[in-house]
Amino acid sequence: MEEFFQQLTNGLAVGGIYALIALGYTMVYGVLKLINFAHGDLFTYGAYLGLTLLTSLALTDRLGFAMGVLVLALMVMGLVAVLGAILERAAYRPLRQSPRLSAVVSALGASIFLQNTLMLIYGPRFQVYPDNILPAATLNIFGLYLPLMRVLIVLVSVLMMVGLYLFIQKTKIGTAIRAAAIDQDAARLMGIDVNRVIMLVFLVGPALGGAAGLMVGLYYGQINFTMGWIYGMKAFTAAILGGIGNIPGAMVGGLLLGVIEALGAAYISIAWKDAIAFCVLILILIVRPTGLLGERVADKV
Amino acid sequence: MKAAEPTVEREQRSLLTLGEVTKSFGGLTAVDKVSFAVEAGSVVGLIGPNGAGKTTVFNLITGHYQPNHGDIRFAGQRLNGLPTHRIIMLGIARTFQNIRLFQQLSALENALAGCHYRMRGGILAGMFGFLPYQRRAEQEAVERSVGELEFVGLNQKVATVAKNLSYGDQRRLEIARALTTQPRLLILDEPAGGMNEQETEALIGLIEQIRARGITILLIEHDMRLVMRACEKLVVLEHGGKIAEGSPEQVRNDPRVIEAYLGTEDEV
Amino acid sequence: MKPRVDVLGAGLFAAAMAVAPLFLNAYQVDVLNSIGLYALLALGLNLILGEAGLFNMGHAAFYAMGAYTAAILNTRYQIPVLWTLPLSGAVAGAFALAVARPVVHLRGDYLLIVTIGVGEIVRIALVNDVFGITGGANGIFGIGRPRLFGLVIRRPEQFFYLIWGFVALTIFLFLRLKRSRFGRALNFLREDEVAAEGSGIDTAYYKLVVFGLGAAWAGMAGTLFAAKMTIISPESFSFWESVVLFMIVILGGAGSIPGVLLAAFLVVGLPELFREFAGARMLVFGLVMMVMMVVRPQGLWPARGRQKWLAVSGKALGP
């Protein structure tokens, strides 16, 4: 039972990370009907920027752990958000009127470009987060000893998701985003600056993805320039699972996928861990392409 | 006059019959218990205000949507549940409201699409086939397609890529492509949409010629002059339900139709 | 006359290729062999992606199926490796049919994601030594040299003629296929699926069959690969192989056989010329993909279409 709860909480932490990345996919898809293949790589940039800033600025030494990580997170999110906006300008905006395939290819190109830029800067090997600045504390919750980072990840990711949800539902800008997602032309007629909405989506999504990257660095300690691809695929699976274009769906899908994967790895086979997510992806597209709560994806007349 | 005929006889002569067909999307009922028949050899118009469910009826007939209730029969055969290409093979062809041509392909290639299902030969025949019957079939298909392109008046545009054709020519090409399937029933969804006066005039002539070939026509059209001149029977839809059916004169004088539709149509 | 220029160009290219091994060293011939294999794979993918417009980014999975079928049959049952060619094609094709059947109706980019997923599942299965026959991460080694007409093929120039002979045969067959009823149906599908179905074409059938055919070709290319390498392992069939193939088709010009050949030369050959910048290879590819989509989305050597050929036969039949 202890083992089960350990796996369950681990799954929730990983799932929280998937969900944060999935939000970026889902928001972009909602507004542009485009799968932003480079989103996973923005997540990787979060992890690498986090590492570089952490070590070069020694934030935790100066400000203490909590304050240091908070400042670090804000910096990473800001920088990755800017990267996201640049990506939109460079790779997607010129193709707004082009056929779907062009945008897909450009997105893949951007992904390959971003990934290999990191590789040229940092080298192909795994990079390691320094372990001496992170508290190895565990929390005792109902007799269950959980690593502090795991609990923090779940809490922070849920907080961010709720924050985003409220932002989208309650604010005027959020309403504009929702309107643009339903019908861009109508939104434009209502005086909404759709370009700004798209830019905003490419700021917010990558910011969350960057935060997820930082969390992965802090949680696992090891990062690699290709990791965005597999995390991206899984986060995308999570977005599909919940129903693409649907923000609560991305949260539910992410957490669910994290748990499925953790339990599958523990009780079925660790070697097949990555295949589990892909099987979920294919099954959901066959059985219920709308996801648990979302839009239809098979072609309509 | 037709309405006075006994029902049985009408059933026998009708090529297409819809019996209480209903289609709803989510909570919205787009087509509500619509029944009508299209007699063989006639030209029938399906009219009604925007959003009345006309195109949905077409999509139900050609199998793009499946009805929730009711029967659609063509020449005695039930169409419910059949995939679109099977319905086309039975002898129904259609055009689309928002022109759907193979944009990058030539007019001739577009027309050849309609010949496809009557021809044979798959991968192996394509790769290795040197047989005379295949060459003959190809030749015949090209001849038929060129013939239909000439029939609709596109003689000069055989090799033109579809996207470079004018709007009216694109509509005509769609008709040619539908005709190459050798249909018994041709379904036209706003054939005069976007056409100027002369083009519409030519279209009325074309519809007459198609009918003279023994092909039954069912059409949706907003241009009332065309509808009144080309159709011998009209079916009027409003909010997904049928509100009137009869000859153009009957429909024109029907108070419900005037109220629902014609009253707002300044062309009449 | 354009067609005569085409024939002349193709003839010159074929002649140059036929004598190329006489003037090149073993390493250079080996590069040409790699290009040939990629060309073969990309020609198969071109049917699916270029002609029919179905986004397949899991082509490496079918390649792997063929290579492993050949390797297993050869090492376990001592079947001569070239004899396995039809069976490798059949296995890869059948696998593709089974996989594509439930998903082939999905909208473009979803199909892309699913095929990526299929490719990864296959690779993971190979790494995990599925059914105990794939040799896990180490793969399978000791695959026998192919024999053709009593001659054992082992030197690069011998492989050159085997591989490029198969490429030539493929081009011949696919050109014919392109002009046939089958090829036309694929183009109708790509241009407008709804209109194709509405013209009486069984679109679901064609989608499935073209997947099977393209995959079968990848399977046969896999056999040649296994024969050439004598060792195969899962890392040869990674996601990036599928990306490179996808790129070859798109950069060359979807639906264009000369375009695909040209792109195979550029994508596989150029990095060999600039080996000192090997690290930046993928970076450049990524950049090229982005720039191409803006400045030349139709590809380097786009398909010219058949309107000329059809115009001729159309006029001949006119009044």
Average pLDDT over residues B55-68: 94
The predicted pLDDT at position A135 comes to 65
DSSP code string of B217-263: EEEE-S-HHHHHHH-SEEEEEETTEEEEEE-HHHHHH-HHHHHHTGG
Looking at per-residue pLDDT, the higher value among B181 and B193 belongs to: B181
Joined together, the tokens standing for residue C241 give 């192989």
Closest CA to C120 of A277, A270, A24: A277
Residue for token digits 């976007």?
B194
Buried b (16+ CB within 10 A) or exposed e, C27-41: eebbbbbbbbbbbbb
Mutation choice for C interface testing from B58, B61, B84, B120 by most C CBs within 10 A: B84
Could B109 and C307 be called an inter-chain contact, meaning their C-beta atoms sit closer than 8 Å? yes
Average pLDDT over residues A69-85: 95
ipTM above 0.85 for this complex:
yes
Q: CB–CB of A251/A161 below 8 Å? A: yes
The predicted pLDDT at position B262 comes to 52
Amino acid sitting at position C14? A
Q: CA separation (Å) from C10 to A121, A150, C13, C164, C261?
A: 44, 63, 5, 14, 11
DSSP code string of C158-202: HHHHHHHHHHHHHHHHHHHHHTSHHHHHHHHHHH-HHHHHTTT--
Helix (H, G, I), strand (E, B) or coil at B197: helix
- Contact residues, chain A, for C295 at CB < 8 Å: none
Q: How far apart are CA A208 and CA A25, in angstroms?
A: 11
Residue for token digits 């982005």?
C290
Please name the residues between 124 and 163 in chain B that touch chain C, using a CB distance below 8 Å: 125-129, 138-139, 142-143, 146, 150, 155, 158-161
Helix (H, G, I), strand (E, B) or coil at C288: helix
Q: How far apart are CA A23 and CA B197, in angstroms?
A: 52
A18: Cβ contacts below 8 Å, ≥ 6 apart: A231, A234, A235, A238, A253, A254, A255, A257, A258
Residue A298: pLDDT band (50, 70, 90) is very low
Joined together, the tokens standing for residue C172 give 């011949």
Could A286 and C110 be called an inter-chain contact, meaning their C-beta atoms sit closer than 8 Å? no
Residue for token digits 């062999």?
C33
Is the pLDDT confidence value at A7 over 50?
yes
The predicted pLDDT at position B9 comes to 47
* Mean pLDDT lowest among A89-98, B102-111, B210-219, C199-208: A89-98
Average pLDDT over residues B95-107: 93
Torsion of CA C6, C12, C16, C18, to 10 degrees: 80
Q: How far apart are CA C97 and CA A167, in angstroms?
A: 45
Neighbours of A263 (CB within 10 A): 16
Q: What proportions of chain B, in percent to the nearest 5, are helix, strand and coil?
A: 45, 25, 30
The predicted pLDDT at position A294 comes to 65
Winning range, highest mean pLDDT, from A249-253, B24-28, C68-72:
C68-72
Helix (H, G, I), strand (E, B) or coil at B21: strand
Is the pLDDT confidence value at C44 over 90?
yes
Q: How far apart are CA C24 and CA C275, in angstroms?
A: 18
Average pLDDT over residues A115-141: 83
Q: CA separation (Å) from A277 to A37, A182, A236, C149, C240?
A: 17, 29, 10, 48, 19
CB pairs under 8 A between A and B: 3
B79: Cβ contacts below 8 Å, ≥ 6 apart: B61, B63, B72, B73, B87, B90
Vertex B183, ends B179 and B188: CA angle to 5°?
Answer: 65
pTM of this structure: 0.89
Is the pLDDT confidence value at A128 over 60?
yes
Closest CA to C255 of C175, C312, C201, C192: C175
The subunits that touch chain A, with at least 3 C-beta pairs less than 8 Å apart, are: B, C
- What's the mean pLDDT when you consider all of chain A? 88
A250: Cβ contacts below 8 Å, ≥ 6 apart: A19, A22, A23, A25, A26, A238, A239, A242
The predicted pLDDT at position B6 comes to 47
Beta bridge partners of B37: B17
Is the pLDDT confidence value at C105 over 90?
no
Could A112 and C103 be called an inter-chain contact, meaning their C-beta atoms sit closer than 8 Å? no
For residue C56, the chain A residue with the least C-alpha distance is: A101
Is the pLDDT confidence value at A300 over 50?
no
Domain locations in chain B as residue ranges? 7-91+183-267, 101-168
Q: CB–CB of C85/A240 below 8 Å? A: no
For residue C191, the chain B residue with the least C-alpha distance is: B102
C110: Cβ contacts below 8 Å, ≥ 6 apart: A285, A289, A297
Q: CB–CB of B145/B108 below 8 Å? A: yes
Q: CB–CB of A205/A28 below 8 Å? A: yes
Q: How far apart are CA C233 and CA A222, in angstroms?
A: 26
Torsion of CA A195, A199, A204, A206, to 10 degrees: 140
For residue B150, the chain C residue with the least C-alpha distance is: C318
What is chain B's alpha carbon radius of gyration, rounded to the nearest angstrom?
Answer: 19
Looking at 1.10.10.10, 3.40.47.10, 3.40.50.300, 3.90.25.10, the CATH number of the domain B7-91+183-267 comes to 3.40.50.300
Joined together, the tokens standing for residue C251 give 């950069």
Is the pLDDT confidence value at A261 over 90?
yes
Looking at per-residue pLDDT, the higher value among A147 and B218 belongs to: B218
C296: left (phi over 0), alpha (psi -120 to 50) or beta: beta
Closest CA to B155 of B203, B198, B108: B108
Residue A43: pLDDT band (50, 70, 90) is very high
Is the pLDDT confidence value at C194 over 50?
yes
Closest CA to C81 of C61, C67, C62: C67
- Contact residues, chain C, for B185 at CB < 8 Å: none
Q: How far apart are CA C287 and CA C251, in angstroms?
A: 12
Amino acid sitting at position A223? I
Residue B189: pLDDT band (50, 70, 90) is very high
Could B158 and C318 be called an inter-chain contact, meaning their C-beta atoms sit closer than 8 Å? yes
Q: CB–CB of B180/B114 below 8 Å? A: yes
Closest CA to A47 of A6, A80, A20: A80
Chain C interface residues (partner A, CB cutoff 8 A): 53, 55, 102-103, 105-110, 112-114, 116-118, 120-121, 124-125, 127-128, 193-194, 239, 243, 246-247, 250, 254, 279-280, 282-283, 285-290, 292-294, 297
* Mean pLDDT lowest among A73-87, B73-87, B97-111, C133-147: C133-147
Is the pLDDT confidence value at C305 over 70?
no
* Mean pLDDT lowest among B95-109, B205-219, B243-257: B243-257
- Contact residues, chain B, for A301 at CB < 8 Å: 59, 64-65
Could C198 and B116 be called an inter-chain contact, meaning their C-beta atoms sit closer than 8 Å? no
Q: CB–CB of C223/C71 below 8 Å? A: no
The predicted pLDDT at position A233 comes to 93
Strand duo B185-189 + B92-94: pairing: parallel
| pLDDT, tens digit, 9 for 90 and up, residues C73-102 | 999 998 888 889 999 999 999 999 999 999
Joined together, the tokens standing for residue C211 give 């997947």
Q: How far apart are CA C267 and CA C255, in angstroms?
A: 17
For residue C295, the chain A residue with the least C-alpha distance is: A94
Joined together, the tokens standing for residue A203 give 């700021």
Closest CA to A225 of A29, A69, A13, A41: A41
Could C307 and B106 be called an inter-chain contact, meaning their C-beta atoms sit closer than 8 Å? yes
| pLDDT, tens digit, 9 for 90 and up, residues A186-200 | 888 888 899 999 999
Residue for token digits 């492993």?
C68
- Contact residues, chain C, for B64 at CB < 8 Å: 194, 198
B211: Cβ contacts below 8 Å, ≥ 6 apart: B41, B43, B217
Could C184 and B64 be called an inter-chain contact, meaning their C-beta atoms sit closer than 8 Å? no
- Contact residues, chain B, for C313 at CB < 8 Å: 139, 142
Q: CB–CB of A84/A75 below 8 Å? A: no
| pLDDT, tens digit, 9 for 90 and up, residues A272-294 | 888 999 999 999 988 887 888 76
C138 touches chain B (CB under 8 A): no
Strand duo B43-47 + B233-238: pairing: parallel
Average pLDDT over residues C2-12: 81
The predicted pLDDT at position B263 comes to 53
For residue A38, the chain C residue with the least C-alpha distance is: C286
Average pLDDT over residues A47-71: 86
- Contact residues, chain C, for A297 at CB < 8 Å: 106-107, 110
Is the pLDDT confidence value at A296 over 80?
no
Amino acid sitting at position C134? T
C235 touches chain B (CB under 8 A): no
Average pLDDT over residues B24-48: 91
- What's the mean pLDDT when you consider all of chain C? 88
Half-sphere exposure of B65 (CA within 13 A, CB side): 20
Nearest C-alpha of chain C: how many angstroms from A294? 15
Q: CB–CB of A222/A129 below 8 Å? A: yes
Helix (H, G, I), strand (E, B) or coil at B196: coil
Half-sphere exposure of B84 (CA within 13 A, CB side): 23
Handedness of CA B179, B183, B185, B189 (dihedral sign): negative
Average pLDDT over residues B167-189: 95
Please name the residues between 194 and 253 in chain B that touch chain C, using a CB distance below 8 Å: none
Q: How far apart are CA B158 and CA C273, in angstroms?
A: 47
The predicted pLDDT at position C144 comes to 84
Please name the residues between 230 and 249 in chain A that touch chain B, using a CB distance below 8 Å: none
